[in-house]
Amino acid sequence: MDLPCATVVHGTGFRARDGLNSGFFNVLIVAEPAKLFNYEVGSLADYITMLVLSQLASLDSCQELPSISNMLAPDCASTTSRTTDGDLAYLHSLYTLYGGEFMAAQRTYIRDEMYKTLVTDKGGAN
């Protein structure tokens, strides 16, 4: 049977995992040089790296933690000109995340891993 419009969906059979994963193969960043003239090259490189590796949903909103991703957000008080420990903890937790979990489980994992990296591993609260 030939079904050219059919898509393959994989289910795990578990209630806690839907078995769906996402990924990207190519990323294209388009920038308007005139708007970036006042920023240092190193800061722009960190910003672009964070954009490429994290797939941020919105560039116009401020993240709660100081982050390089806030660099171009309008009226953002928690900006920085370099990649922060929070950025690195987020990327680490994002890339150690097991695929196929529901969104709520993924968010919980990322939050817990960031807390572990930023607080517990640095001798903070247990």
Q: In this structure, is residue 8 part of a structural domain?
A: no
pLDDT-derived band at 113, boundaries 50, 70, 90: very high
Are the CB atoms for 9 and 93 separated by under 8 Å? no
pLDDT-derived band at 85, boundaries 50, 70, 90: very high
Count of structural domains within the chain: 1
pLDDT digits 0-9 by tens, 31-58: 888 988 888 999 999 998 888 888 776 6
- Residue count of the chain, please give it: 126
CA distance 76 to 60: 9
Residue range(s) defining the domain that contains residue 45:
33-122
Q: In this structure, is residue 61 part of a structural domain?
A: yes
Q: In this structure, is residue 85 part of a structural domain?
A: yes
Q: In this structure, is residue 18 part of a structural domain?
A: no
Q: In this structure, is residue 96 part of a structural domain?
A: yes
